[in-house]
Amino acid sequence: MPGAKKPKRQQSMPTSILVDTCVWLDIAKDYRQQPLLSAIEELVERGLVILMVPQIVLDEFANNKPKIIEESRRSLSGVIKRVKDVVDRFGEGRGKASVLKQLGDIDHRAATLGEAVNESIGRIEKLLTTARPIPTSDAAKLRAADRAIEKKAPFHRQKNGINDAVLIELYAVAVAEGASDEMQYAFVTHNKHDFSAVHADERTPHPDIAACFGKRSSYSVNLGELLNAIAPDIVEDIRFEHEWTDEPRRLSQILSSIDELFDKIWYNRHQNLKYRIETGKTKIVEKETFPVKDHARRPIQRDVWQRAQKAAKKVEKKYGAENLGPWTDFEWGMLNGKLSALRWVLGDEWDMLDT
């Protein structure tokens, strides 16, 4: 890109962040959150962000991980399969093929991007496990129980919010213990119903937990906005890098490329067979007999050869004879390698080069 990058604005005071489990789970579920995940990793590595990880968060994330993986595996693909079946049975006209093609593209993309869930989970686990876990103290449990008795947030609704209560108590202790440190603190959650103000700006904390926040401690329901406030230049650079990340190829593109490679490789083999026929190395017979003892000099039936010649004419018309070789050894290797690789992507074994 033209021009030099702007110098990074470094924040001298790091921010210690407690990220609620629901935020980590939402990041893991959605591949579009990977730029956000990259931003967290970068800021942690630079020491601008320090993650506070209660043991409760580790346990909750581990308990929910199998569910996230299973949902990513079956959710969209199952719906697409049912829609394809309906279109295949009841669709009519030229639009039917177009719809099935687009559904195939979506299904392939969904499966590919579903793998991003596993990647995100691994990256999150690395972040969580490299931070020092905060044990659940008896004192935090007692204060959480007092909240339940007094029906204070997160017990202001008809819900068992004991883990949420313990979480906010652990955060409050961390902020209090760090009162003399050069440190900013932040609590991030998507659980607005339990932690945010009721009938007011949901970006502000519920009055029952408002004492936890002030000049050096902030409440956030948007991790991206928080990170952007901490290091805007770094977050912007990461966002820019992800905008230029290559998207997976559509299934229709892959299938089209396989068809073209198949035709060109078949045509080359056809030309070799034509040469063997013209030089007398391969005989044309009315009916081929089996078994064939010498496969190197195996004859070809006349009707099979006639169909092959017609097929070759169609290939020449489709691509132009000038685009069908002859190939150098390198070009021939590339053609076969590409076909093998694309077939492997769609489930064939390596070196599947049948035409």
Same domain, yes or no: 154 and 282: no
Which one of 221, 243, 265 terminates a domain? 243
- Please give the residue that has the higher pLDDT: either 160 or 333: 333
Q: What domain count does the chain have?
A: 2
List the one residue out of 191, 188, 146, 190 whose CA is nearest residue 166: 146
**pLDDT beyond 80 at 85:** no
Distance of alpha carbon 276 from alpha carbon 270, whole angstroms? 10
- 181 within domain boundaries: yes
Which one of 243, 268, 302 terminates a domain? 243
pLDDT in tens, 3-19: 434 434 444 589 999 99
Same domain, yes or no: 157 and 289: no
- 4 within domain boundaries: no
Same domain, yes or no: 190 and 276: no
The residue to which tokens 């199998």 are assigned = 66
- 267 within domain boundaries: yes
The reply to whether the predicted model has a pTM over 0.75 is: no
Confidence at residue 76, expressed as pLDDT on a 0 to 100 scale: 57
Q: Which amino acid is at 183?
A: M
Same domain, yes or no: 84 and 201: yes
The residue to which tokens 């299938």 are assigned = 255
- Please give the residue that has the higher pLDDT: either 29 or 112: 29
Specify the DSSP class assigned to residue 196. B
Same domain, yes or no: 214 and 263: no
Cβ atoms within 10 A of the Cβ of 341, count?
12
Average confidence (pLDDT) over 57-83: 78
Percent of the chain with pLDDT over 90: 49
Q: Is 91 exposed, middle or buried (0-12, 13-18, 19+ CB in 10 A)?
A: middle
Structure tokens at 159: 């819900």
Lowest mean pLDDT across 23-27, 192-196, 216-220, 257-261: 257-261
- Full DSSP string of 251-265: HHHHHHHHHHHHHHH
Distance of alpha carbon 280 from alpha carbon 351, whole angstroms? 31
Average confidence (pLDDT) over 25-52: 92
Lowest mean pLDDT across 99-113, 219-233, 317-331: 99-113
For 61-82, b/e burial (b = at least 16 CB within 10 A) is: beebbeebeeebeeebbeebee
Same domain, yes or no: 39 and 175: yes
Confidence at residue 113, expressed as pLDDT on a 0 to 100 scale: 59
Same domain, yes or no: 309 and 222: no
Average confidence (pLDDT) over 77-105: 68
Lowest mean pLDDT across 113-122, 233-242, 288-297: 288-297
Taking CA atoms, 20 is separated from 23, 133, 186, 300, in Å, by 6, 13, 11, 71
List the one residue out of 242, 234, 236, 201 whose CA is nearest residue 15: 234
Distance of alpha carbon 51 from alpha carbon 55, whole angstroms? 12
Average confidence (pLDDT) over 128-157: 91
**Considering the chain, what is the average pLDDT of its residues?**
85
Confidence at residue 5, expressed as pLDDT on a 0 to 100 scale: 40
Same domain, yes or no: 223 and 163: yes
The residue to which tokens 């719809």 are assigned = 99
Lowest mean pLDDT across 6-15, 40-49, 142-151, 290-299: 6-15
Percent of the chain with pLDDT over 70: 83
The residue to which tokens 């009162």 are assigned = 179
The residue to which tokens 């948007």 are assigned = 222
Which one of 213, 243, 273 terminates a domain? 243
- 2 within domain boundaries: no
pLDDT in tens, 247-269: 667 777 788 888 899 999 999 99
Same domain, yes or no: 106 and 236: yes
Half-sphere exposure of 86 (CA within 13 A, CB side): 7
Cβ atoms within 10 A of the Cβ of 285, count?
14
87, 89, 93, 94 alpha-carbon torsion, rounded to 10°: 50
pLDDT bucket at 169, cuts 50 / 70 / 90: very high
- 354 within domain boundaries: no
**pLDDT beyond 70 at 295:** no
pLDDT in tens, 308-343: 999 999 999 998 988 898 888 998 999 999 888 888
Structure tokens at 297: 């000099």
pLDDT bucket at 31, cuts 50 / 70 / 90: confident
Question: What is the radius of gyration, based on Cα positions, of the chain?
Answer: 31
Helix (H) or strand (E) holding 182: none
Query: Which region, left, alpha or beta, applies to residue 93 given φ > 0 means left and ψ of -120 to 50 means alpha?
Result: left
- Please give the residue that has the higher pLDDT: either 321 or 180: 321
- 177 within domain boundaries: yes
Average confidence (pLDDT) over 113-133: 86
Confidence at residue 325, expressed as pLDDT on a 0 to 100 scale: 86
Angle of CA points 33, 56, 224, to nearest 5°: 25
**Nearest-10 crossing angle of helices 95-130, 21-29:** 140
- Please give the residue that has the higher pLDDT: either 275 or 98: 275
Same domain, yes or no: 168 and 279: no
For 213, the domain range is 15-243
Confidence at residue 6, expressed as pLDDT on a 0 to 100 scale: 40
Same domain, yes or no: 282 and 135: no
Q: Is 121 exposed, middle or buried (0-12, 13-18, 19+ CB in 10 A)?
A: buried
**pLDDT beyond 60 at 56:** yes
Same domain, yes or no: 300 and 234: no
Average confidence (pLDDT) over 32-39: 90
Angle of CA points 164, 168, 169, to nearest 5°: 115
Structure tokens at 118: 């596993």
